[in-house]
Amino acid sequence: MSVFDRLRNKVTKQPAFGVVGSANAAPVSTEPPPRTIKPAEYGLPTRAELIDLPSARHPLTTALLDAVDRGDRGAITAVLDAAGTNWQRRHALVKWLAIRSADDDTWLTSWLAAEPDNPAALTTYAESLSDMAFKIRTASRAEDVSSEQWEAFFRILRQVPEHCMHAAAVAPADPTPWVVLQQIALGLQYDNDAYRAVWHEVVSREPMHVQAHLAAVMYWLPRWFGSDELATAFVDDATRGKPAGTLLTQVRLQWIYFEKIPKTGAERTEFYHGPVLEAALDDALADLRAASPDHPSYPAQQHWLAYFLTMAGRYAEAYDLFKTIGPYYGARPWALANDPVSRFTGIRADAVVGWEDAGRPPLP
């Protein structure tokens, strides 16, 4: 990769949590280059001020990472206990621990050696190994993955379930080990029945687990181990009868992004302005309004909505969300692009420009 490739923004970025099989996910617009804006004029942070995080760090996350840096195992456990039975928060914290161990896991392995039955240590270790395996595989299409990568991928993943099971045995009420196992089940190519068995363990402990649903919908896609009918059924099931504020409408948005957007230009424009997306967006907005900003999947919902509202031409709502989002761009769908910053600023500019063109309608 030469200097020129970098200048032409051809750097391929590896997505954060191992998005598999989505090399061509985002259809790129073939319209003329969008007009740009001066962010400051609209109360938006400039490109230089952007931060590669989904949102401002949750205080528990900050406390957790400080504890890791200090090497204070007691504090780590205390933070996790503070999350209590907020399983989704606990899952988010475990993911942060795993990210922190990506380059150097000595603190994690010594923690595990010192406390071999600590479910948090075990789950973190399992998640860390799973992350590493998917990073080795990379997000490339299957045919572009070398046999060396495949062998390492499967070899590592095969060694992980025992840690998940160990954690589950010690902390039976916690769905987190099962959520970690879910991702491994995808990697190890569990058949549908085996996957459902793992899924059942998750939802019997936390039926509204957004991240678990998002992982599962990928499994049920036709390109993975499901089919169009199975995926549709899963999404309908995930959203039906769930109270507003659970943020499960995010599952439909993600599914639409990966599966439902037409490839060709004219059909795509039609879809973006069509009833299917409109209904999904209305539901998702209502869901967001009813949700607590403390919900771990709240920022992700904002980002999905900001994207889709812009594409759907609902510029006032989109601009409003961008203002709330502020400088944070480290989330989907921007993270799936080759150049997340540009994708974020580009769509953001589209929203503002569209809002201007529409005569600056009042914001919600």
Q: Both tokens of residue 190?
A: 């569990």
Nearer to other proteins, 129 or 300 (CB): 129
Nearer to other proteins, 23 or 233 (CB): 23
Please give the Cα distance from 268 to 274 (Å, whole number): 10
Contacts (Cβ under 8 Å, ≥6 apart) of 33: none
Q: What is the phi/psi pair of residue 51, to 5°?
A: -125, 135
Q: How far is the CB of 134 from other proteins (least distance, A)?
A: 10
- 341 touches other proteins (CB under 8 A): no
Please give the Cα distance from 115 to 120 (Å, whole number): 10
Q: How far is the CB of 124 from other proteins (least distance, A)?
A: 14
201 and 178 Cβ atoms separated by less than 8 Å? yes
- 149 touches other proteins (CB under 8 A): yes
Q: Tell me how far CA of residue 333 lies from CA of 68, 145, 266, 267, in angstroms.
A: 29, 23, 22, 21
Q: Segment contacting other proteins (CB under 8 A): 42-50, 62-70, 151-159, 249-257? A: 151-159
CA 286 to chain centre: 20
Work out which of 2, 24, 30, 147 binds other proteins, going by CB under 8 A: 147
Q: How far is the CB of 21 from other proteins (least distance, A)?
A: 17
- 159 touches other proteins (CB under 8 A): yes
Number of residues that bind other proteins (CB under 8 A): 22
- 136 touches other proteins (CB under 8 A): yes
Q: Which residue type sits at 298?
A: Y
Q: Which residue type sits at 54?
A: P
* Share of the chain residues as helix, strand and coil, in percent rounded to the nearest 5: 65, 0, 35
Q: How far is the CB of 128 from other proteins (least distance, A)?
A: 9
By rule CB under 8 A, what string of x and - marks binding of each residue 94-133 to other proteins?
--------xxxx---x-------------------x--xx
- 188 touches other proteins (CB under 8 A): no
124 and 98 Cβ atoms separated by less than 8 Å? yes
Kindly state the greatest CA–CA separation across the chain: 63
Nearer to other proteins, 147 or 292 (CB): 147
Residues that bind other proteins (CB under 8 A): 14, 102-105, 109, 129, 132-133, 135-136, 138, 140, 146-149, 151-152, 155-156, 159
